[in-house]
Structure 1
Amino acid sequence: MFGGLGTTGVELGVAERVGGAAGLRMSAEFLKVGRNFESDGATYDTKLKFSSLGLYGDYFVAGGGFRLSAGAVIGTRKATGNAVATNGTLSINGSSYPAAGESVGAEAKFPSAAPYVGIGYGHHQPSKGSGFYLDLGVVIGKANTTLSPSAGIVAAAGQANVDAEQRKLQDSVDKLKAYPVLKFGFSFAF
């Protein structure tokens, strides 16, 4: 069994050696963080939420603890945000529009199943006892975005400007082709 923390949140799992240089792992990972702040005349509410199951195959190099890993991450991984105008305007597609009390929501949602590749150390214990592990890798896959302005924003800016802002948001998110993974934790073999 193992447990740790990282960029995918809190992790709990099991690992098993299945041969001289091979191992299998399964883990559940949970992350929920949020931040509220004010900037440029708007109040922002942002959240990052991951809830996923990881399935991994490990190849231990030279019989030690160093390993190459590949697998899949299955579940929900998304970032959401909402901006509410506090100074009476919001910017859509480079122009400011009257928006007192109006809001714009955004969501970036990663694929529900995505491949993982990485390197690491640990999960190699052939006998009982405790140890540690470290993972460094990436979950590959681009997020899809959704922009959800309130009706007053759509009326003021026009659907064409809202659509252009949606494309800009998706273009920005498309630059992130993988999510970085760094995990550290402790293991115990029975």
Structure 2
Amino acid sequence: MLTIVRRLRRALVAASTLLLVSGALLPASARATELFGGLGTTGVELGVAERVGGAAGLRMSAEFLKVGRNFESDGATYDTKLKFSSLGLYGDYFITGGGFRLSAGAVIGTRKATGNAVATNGTLSINGSSYPAAGESVGAEAKFPSAAPYIGIGYGHHQPSKGSGFYLDLGFVIGKAKTTLSPSAGIVAAAGQANVDAEQRKLQDSVDKLKAYPVLKFGFSFAF
């Protein structure tokens, strides 16, 4: 956790310095600053953007997502969560005189999905076999890289004049998640470590098919 905090701090300082330096070097007529906020598949987004002259722009945003779902199925209670807490650093290239753009950058922070199944009665399945498991549990976590590249397209953040506007982003954060399976001691004893390891490999193989996380964001902005 300390390493992630340090990375976020360094990225925040670097991005802030870049925005300040670019603003200082450009004439006032070429500068425009924008505050924005929105929602999307990365959660709630709050950020600042700077048009650095010509067709280029820079953005920095904080993105937070925390959603969960609890349900029961086949004698087991399931608790699933998706949690993001990250910093997005983006560069924009406007391909027309309007707001359409190409975007690239990086997402830094914690992005993970967790799940836990507790058998109230019945069985739990490990590596294709079912085992009596009343009161036993199996936990799983899929954790994305703490730093991952982003590519996409979008509209907005071009700050043509002071006032309000809107923006839209469509792209992908590239990077596969690493999984961890955590069965309770009773499940390990019943199924055997070899079957637990085989189930772990199956879980990782399934997650490996998702090579990128889809991003869709929209929101509103104010330029000044």
Per the normalisation by structure 1, the TM-score is 0.99
Distance in 2 (alpha carbons) for counterparts of 1:125 and 1:134: 14
Q: Secondary structure at the match of 1:14?
A: strand
Show CA shifts across 1:48-74 (max 9, x none). 000000000000012210000000000
CA contact (8 A) 1:123 1:133 kept: yes
Q: Secondary structure at the match of 1:154?
A: helix
Stretches of structure 1 lacking an aligned partner (at least 5 in a row): none
Query: Shift in Å at residue 24 of structure 1?
Result: 0.1
Q: RMSD in angstroms over aligned alpha carbons?
A: 0.6
Query: Shift in Å at residue 86 of structure 1?
Result: 1.9
Q: How many residues align?
A: 190
Distance in 1 (alpha carbons) for counterparts of 2:41 and 2:129: 35
CA contact (8 A) 1:23 1:59 kept: yes
CA contact (8 A) 1:88 1:101 kept: no
Distance in 2 (alpha carbons) for counterparts of 1:76 and 1:181: 16
Distance in 1 (alpha carbons) for counterparts of 2:82 and 2:57: 31
Show CA shifts across 1:113-144 (max 9, x none). 00000000000013210000000000000000
CA contact (8 A) 2:123 2:132 kept: yes
CA contact (8 A) 2:104 2:150 kept: yes
CA contact (8 A) 1:111 1:141 kept: yes
CA contact (8 A) 1:43 1:86 kept: yes
Query: Shift in Å at residue 87 of structure 1?
Result: 2.2
Query: Shift in Å at residue 89 of structure 1?
Result: 1.1
Q: Which runs of 4+ in 1 moved over 3 A?
A: none
CA contact (8 A) 1:27 1:55 kept: yes
Distance in 2 (alpha carbons) for counterparts of 1:152 and 1:184: 47
CA contact (8 A) 2:47 2:59 kept: yes
CA contact (8 A) 2:120 2:134 kept: yes
Q: Percent identity?
A: 97
Show CA shifts across 1:53-104 (max 9, x none). 0000000012210000000000000000000012231100000011110000
Higher strand share: 1
CA contact (8 A) 2:126 2:199 kept: yes
